[in-house]
A and B are shown apart, each in its own frame.
Chain A
């Protein structure tokens, strides 16, 4: 469906960082603890307490900036964002305003084969607020465990033109922060939160339309739904000759619609000013370079290496590179067994299936690359067939024993001895004279039947190639 309007989307993403301690104090950031058990005078906002920056947060911000092609500010400033709310113990949030730590970045995405570059306006560091726990009555309680946990706010340019582009950008960004290890990427727990600014304008118009800000939507699916609903809503308004008003809207997951939360006239004047309790953060070139050296190989680079150096199909490369640990597993495996395609098939096939079936993460995988390489080695030297290899793999997953031990214990060694195979082929042909007749009469489909019979007789251990060859020779008789 072609629309009369062009869609304009900008995204603000809040990434909760995985530092052990909070951004301005030494309290733990662990999730799900007894309310207010992880607090101190600083994150409680007690009189007299002062913030001290956790350097790790700046390191994570620099790494994220480098991975998204940002320039890193040699000097950045923390600012106070002033507003009253019970989950905000100081009456202000420490954030960055005029001089954020990263600016002018970009992410390259691809939608339906079309590459596109999305600008990143800025990345800044800030503290999270606490949580309100609403009781059944009309009272609420405040849990400040989350207060002062570190966040990065990543603000894009209004460069996206469809919900698909927005989702592609978000997934790419999500992949990067998880790859970097700066975020656990858990959308449901709120580790990766997105606000979307959505507006539409008639094609060809230079000025942006009036935007609505969609708040805190916690899954990629809902973000797409919310944006699509919002585009429809705004289109209807303009088609009816109305005007979109600038406001903040909340997405309702039950109805799949958005509703107004507050209008522009109710918008806060946050009275930003530099926080006098914190000194400017000075980032030296040496520090940036050190962070650059510590960057892992990022997905894009991995994909092009998998394709260019290892000769994998693009599809395999993308699947393998999607998850950093999976990619590292694959790299370890290829280092042990040079057959890149065979390795890819196994990681994407048997390994992925076993992980999925058992709900195991790759980090806890009982079959190490070393163990799996042991299986591949026995495939390569014809000790076992691909089919038997799967049996070995399942046994390995259960027992943790190495391939050779399993092959030995279960007698799975492949029969390649042509004499032995010939004897079995003879037996099978003798036992099925009718089928031999039919085959010779031109029903070559029966080859599968004969192979199956031979394999059954050898409990799958016969070398399939040798069996095929022998059968052909004998049957053509």
Chain B
């Protein structure tokens, strides 16, 4: 029901069946992080460019091997930190010195010093939300569907297996060739995965 409705809206990941590609790619399964890294390097040398690795923990060196760019998350977060900081100044100034002026213990209606704690707290609060929601956005989660889960042994990627997908979007992609290639790299279980 829900899925049908979402697919009618054409949201990312819910495109109508016809709009989807038939094949996601070919996924191979490796024993160790080192085997995976070796396979990525071989694939890059062989000219494949659109690849994705799957692993139960982040592996040092995978990003370099895949040639992935740095995450832009830090830039998102700094913007929200500054918004939080400014919001705190405005909040304390407007409530205390504009909208409800009340002299308490002869203190000034607004001053920088007593405003610091809340400035700090709101900057941290907004940064934390920006970090988590920004990460969600960059990672496209929450998501209800991903072709990766069509791989019969996808559960290995959250346990003790190290997977490499060569995606159908790759200019050099020919499913049968890629399957043979991944097998030659030492993949234990290679599958052509539907999108």
**Does B associate with A?**
no
Chain B residues within CB distance 8 Å of chain A = none
